[in-house]
Copies of this chain bind each other. A is one copy, B any other.
Amino acid sequence: MMLELSTWCEVKEYLKTKKVIIIPVGSTEQHGPMGLMGTDFICPEFIARGVSDQTKTLVAPTLTIGMSQHHLAFPGSITLRPTTLIAVIKDVIHSLAGHGFTHLFFLNGHGGNVDSVKTAFSEVYAEHSFSKRPSSVHLQLCNWYGGKRLKKVQTRYFKTGEGSHATPSEISLSFYAHPGSVKKADLTPRVAPNHPFRDSSDFSDKFPDGRIGSDSSLASPEIGKEIFEAAVRDVLDAYELFLNPDIPA
């Protein structure tokens, strides 16, 4: 159930029985010579729909611009400052909490968002802690790419070259989601280097074609399908745990 394709009356009806919503959050940034600029939001959006198909959970519109400052040397990359992203997440939380949603599940597709999104959560909680009004919302950040079933698929197909940016996993998934946009490129070296990085000029010095540690050419829509299925199930686990957190953190 997509929020954007629902009416407010349908949302009102939904809230009578469910108080949870999934918010896909990603970024618009270079993903190497053959990865799509939208990879990091296409993936969580696609998986959110997969999770929603099984759970009938409402899915909010995807937040398509994230914190991608380090990619700004590559044409087309768009970033929010971290503090802007914090403000966005806060407003989204306040909007949804006001409607009675109690569980907000941010399904994330971009590592660069993690600190800012979690800082936004703390900002929201801090308001409650300062004012002594208990918060009604539970906030969760879940990366779509962190689970164990996905790991197995990756191990099978990408013995080397998974890397950490423009990975064959995320590119496969984005190709599966957008089969009309499968790209090819000659990658030199096949497996990109791997380093810590800082700002965008440091990043582009170290990663001339934008990839980190990955061999994007291993990607295919077919593997994308397997990744999708594994990741949906991984995320479902995290989602269930979020709703029923009997297991200590």
Contacts and interface: CB of A to CB of B under 8 A. Distances in A.
A223 interface: no
A94 B130 contact: yes
Interface size class of A (residues with CB under 8 A): 35 or more
B36 A6 contact: yes
Contacts of A116: 115, 119, 122
A103 to B, nearest CB: 11
Give the secondary structure class of A's interface: mixed
Nearest to A79: B95
Contact of A8 (B30, B62, B83): B30
B72 A98 contact: yes
A134 B69 CA distance: 12
A227 interface: no
20 contacts: A3-B37, A4-B37, A6-B76, A7-B185, A65-B92, A69-B129, A72-B130, A81-B87, A81-B91, A81-B123, A83-B119, A84-B91, A87-B87, A95-B130, A128-B200, A129-B200, A135-B198, A135-B202, A195-B248, A196-B245
Given A65-B88, A82-B119, A213-B248, 6 more contacts: A5-B178, A7-B36, A8-B75, A116-B119, A134-B199, A194-B248
